[in-house]
Amino acid sequence: MGAELLRAKSLYCERDDRVLFENLDLQLNAGEILQIEGRNGSGKTTLLRILSGLSNHFEGEIFWCGETLGEAKEAFLAELVYIGHQPGVSAQLTAEENLSWQCALHPSLDNSKIGYAIAQVGLKGFEDVPSYQLSAGQKRRIALARLYMSSAKLWILDEPFTAIDKLGVAAKEALMLKHLSQGGSVILTTHQDLSDSMPVRTLSLGKPQTEVAYE
């Protein structure tokens, strides 16, 4: 088992006077995939945003490589790629422009790999097309192209396979396995059944006591 990357202790979160989760502990080591499961409204996206440092509406502690997220925030953000349920693609920009913009925001993304990433997600020939002219699946591919450009250790992905066909799903699974082999880790939510080759642990929300299950 690889070194510990991320740990959360005693997380508590409520929304609209309803407790989403409490006493939630988790640990993520290098080389692991953690899948967050639960019914709609159970707090999956909320948990991903908390673990990504995008929401502070919670109680508890989060650690990155043994340091609190507050102490290690700069190092943590340099090692994070977060892709939300919405693709985060500007409609007026082309695929190339969207990825260039992301590179300016995130130092872990390699600007020189934009062309390679676009080809890998099947958008070669669409580089200069404004994103508002693209399908939902193509916009999702622009977002996922960041994974081919990233040197970050931690990928946090909210429904990454939405609007992606079977070949696209298989390609992303292969990319995740490569990422794990290089010491990276992944936290994700998905309604897609992952292949048996994926070394996945699951954390189920919405149960009386949240626990991590090994598969």
Give the C-alpha separation, 151 to 83, whole Å.
15
Q: Do 122 and 163 fall within a single domain?
A: no
86 lies in some domain: no
Q: Is the pLDDT reported for residue 208 higher than 70?
A: no
pTM (2 decimals)? 0.92
Give residue 111's domain range.
93-151
Give the C-alpha separation, 130 to 28, whole Å.
38
Residue 162's pLDDT is what?
87
What percent of the chain is predicted at pLDDT more than 70? 95
Q: What is the pLDDT of residues 150-165, one digit of tens each?
A: 999 999 999 999 888 8
87 lies in some domain: no
**Strand partners of residue 100:** none
Give the C-alpha separation, 63 to 66, whole Å.
6
Contacts of 111 (CB under 8 A, 6+ apart): 100, 103, 149
85 lies in some domain: no
Q: Do 158 and 147 fall within a single domain?
A: no
- As given in the structure block, the two tokens for residue 33 are 């995939």
Q: What is the pLDDT of residues 18-53, one digit of tens each?
A: 999 999 999 999 999 999 999 999 999 999 999 999
Q: Do 147 and 46 fall within a single domain?
A: no
Q: Which residue has the tokens 């992944």?
A: 186
Burial class (CB in 10 A: 0-12, 13-18, 19+), 185: buried
Q: Do 160 and 146 fall within a single domain?
A: no
Q: Do 160 and 122 fall within a single domain?
A: no
CATH code for the domain in which residue 50 is found: 3.40.50.300
**Count of structural domains within the chain:** 2
- As given in the structure block, the two tokens for residue 102 are 């992301």
